[in-house]
Structure 1
Amino acid sequence: MKKIAWTILFLGAFTLSYAQSDYYNDYRRSVTDVNWGAVAADLLLSSTQVKQLNALNDRYADYNTWLRVYGDSPDRWRADRYSEIERILGNDKYVKFKNKYYKGQNPVAVYNRNKNNDKKYKHIDKKSKAVHMNNGKDHKH
């Protein structure tokens, strides 16, 4: 019985840390997938704004520093990060940033939409639709 309890506890902890590391990976991509030098040049940012963006991008350099802040609510990083970017850029430049780098969509919504988008299982959905369609055709009288 103790072995089962320890196994469940271990698997629960592993699953939680795995899910949190997925959130951290999204966070890191939000930093690394954007050419911040190009953002600064495109939006004509001041040196103060560039320094603030660099400080924001360097805030959580590793998983442990990020986890201390977001361990209890790992999805909160999105709203925090993009409201801070909006504060730094100002509303007008933030809208231009969103339009260019997120196709006009709210970056928070982009990451929320992608967080459960597990590519490993996409093929199953396609197969189940194909089977369902074939079954429907087979039952015609």
Structure 2
Amino acid sequence: MKKLITIMLIGTFSLSYAQSNYYNDYRRSITDVNWQNVISELVLSATQANQIYALNDRYRDYNSWNRVYVNHPDRWRNDRYVELERILGRDKYIKFKNRYYKGQNPVAVYNRNKNNDKRYKHMGKKSKVYKYKHGNGHHKK
């Protein structure tokens, strides 16, 4: 019984941890862009600007976001950028994408970062195999 409870708690914790990572990506997709600059650079109408601000304010906190994306937390990427493309129009969306995502699909950018845990990135350079293969190790004669 104790093992079952422990497994359930671990599963719940890891699911909520994964969910919060997706939510953090969602928030960064809003905060990493200076939307006032986007609006002025792309010469957007007042209606388009208001729609972008409404899109950015759609989920003000984790709970409101989680109610929508609890079963498919990675779906936010596609939903957000399809909506953004609808607001901007195809041509202005491509300009936005080229400026802020170097021409890459923003969905792919956030998907690529999903499994790229920076906490462990430095570990490869410290391993003996890495040093041997890359010539960074000190070989004693």
Q: Same fold (TM over 0.5)?
A: yes
Q: 1:103 aligned to 2:112?
A: no
Unaligned 5+ runs, structure 1? none
Aligned residues: 134
The corresponding residue for 1:20 is 19
- TM-score scaled by structure 2? 0.90
Q: Give the whole-Å Cα distance in 1 for the aligned partners of 2:119 and 2:56.
A: 30
Q: Give the whole-Å Cα distance in 1 for the aligned partners of 2:124 and 2:69.
A: 32
Deviation string 1:71-115 (CA, Å, 9 cap, x unpaired) is 100000000000100000000000000011111111111001111
AA aligned opposite 2:114:
K
Higher helix share: 1
Aligned positions of 1:5-84 closer than 5 A: 5-84=4-83
The corresponding residue for 2:86 is 87
Q: Give the whole-Å Cα distance in 1 for the aligned partners of 2:96 and 2:131.
A: 43
Deviation string 1:3-54 (CA, Å, 9 cap, x unpaired) is 1111110010000000000000000000111000000000000000001000
Q: Give the whole-Å Cα distance in 2 for the aligned partners of 1:17 and 1:116.
A: 16
AA aligned opposite 1:130:
Y
Aligned positions of 1:105-124 closer than 5 A: 105-124=104-123
RMSD: 1.4
Deviation at 1:130, TM superposition (A): 1.7
Deviation string 1:53-82 (CA, Å, 9 cap, x unpaired) is 000000000000000100100000000000
